[in-house]
Structure 1
């Protein structure tokens, strides 16, 4: 048995708000891309943020696409949480995560073609990203024999949540927010 909304009004509201969120969040990627294009420069753009953001959105895309498109994973979800529980991913979630990966990857492409000065990705960022992707590969190897795909995509969802917090640290450090916080507290 597949679950559904008990109210047409709630279903419509869910869809409308989901697509409004998609539009708002998607729009947020364009000012940086357009600024880079206009200036033909990425000087001042935090490369660590870009790499961490690409990891975050790639993980989110894997989670959303797998849960949205795979009947096998959806069945594992219903087996775990019950047939009455709705799949917690909508088309707008998949569209946003696909768009976010594409725009973040395009911004990374701009790093390679535009003036970047002496900026580079830090060793800490490279290490964090490598650890995350190696851990994801290990989890894939663990999930494969048991076909425990729901567990695996939950790992990717956890990665995206963790990366959401981590990706802002370079910007906070760069703008001395942490030093300012010490004076406030």
Structure 2
């Protein structure tokens, strides 16, 4: 009876976190559309997000639907099945679409936005290096597996390592993708243009994602449910860490402050006159 209850809790956590994380992709493009501008945000975040979620989608799809990958996973994890759930797969597919839409908003002519230049309007060298390096890293792993494919996936290179490479790309991208926006907020001494709504939804999703992973691992009676899915564990923890940073910036460090860049000719419809101030 207890296990059946925990299975229901796991399923509930999974879909609630999927909904929260999925909804977190809407506030930013909606804010950009309402303001007819992407000022205050950087293109780095949606640009690298697309690549990250493509990798996450591929890894989730393989763990869910590939007999070969599931067999290789079982050989490395005491015969268990992956703890990836359908809600993980659905979330990744949705995230690709919304990240691509947000990225497209940096093409002003496509959306009728005002032209912008300066920092954040074009991908930084740092993000482009990560983009190219991630693709090269996956290609190298594929080459290694082709050359050194071992008949026993438990002890040698196997196609599951390629899938892990895709998932690690997502993990690494999540680790670095927030930094350009954190620095932009710091330079502007403002979070204007960066939606706090997406952060609040993201932190709830991250907590529930970790809870679901822990419950699924407990139900299997083996910690490999977690160690075999390190990306989901780290994604939740990293997201929560940066969410705390963004909430600190928004509510504690720069509450109600409007950056000089926005004051010089851009009206933010989300703030009333009494809230627009700068030191």
Name the TM-score, length of structure 1 as normaliser.
0.85
Partners of 2:126 and 2:75 in 1: how far apart? 40
User: Runs ≥4 in structure 1, deviation > 6 angstroms?
Assistant: none
For the 8 Å contact 1:36–1:42, the answer to whether it is kept is: yes
- What is the correspondence of 1:160-171 to structure 2 with a 5 Å cutoff? 160-171=170-181
Question: Shift of the alpha carbon at 1:138?
Answer: 1.7
Equivalence map 1:131-142=2 (5 Å): 131-142=133-144
On the 8 A contact 1:58/1:97 being kept in 2, the answer is yes
- For the residues of structure 2 that align with 1:149 and 1:44, how far apart are their CA atoms? 42
Deviations 1:10-48 (A, max 9, x none): 222111110000001111110112122223322222111
Distance 1:64 1:100, change over 3 A: same
Distance 1:144 1:98 in 2: 28
Higher relative contact order (CA 8 A, sep 6+): 1
CA–CA separation in structure 2 for the residues paired with 1:24 and 1:42: 23
2:63 to 67, 76, 83: 67
* Structure 2 spans left out of the alignment, 5+ residues: 151-157, 190-244, 246-279
Q: RMSD across aligned C-alpha pairs, in angstroms? A: 2.1
1:18-167 pair list within 5 angstroms: 18-83=14-79, 85-112=80-107, 113=110, 114-118=113-117, 119-145=121-147, 146=149, 148-167=158-177
Q: Which has the higher helix share?
A: 1
- 2:182 paired residue number: 172
- Per-residue deviation, 1:156: 1.6
CA shift, 1:62, in A, is 1.4
Asked if the contact 1:57/1:101 (under 8 Å) is kept, the reply is yes
Deviations 1:125-148 (A, max 9, x none): 111111111111222222245282
8 Å Cα contact 1:43-1:115 kept in structure 2: no
> Which structure has the larger Rg over C-alpha atoms?
2
TM normalised by structure 2 equals 0.58
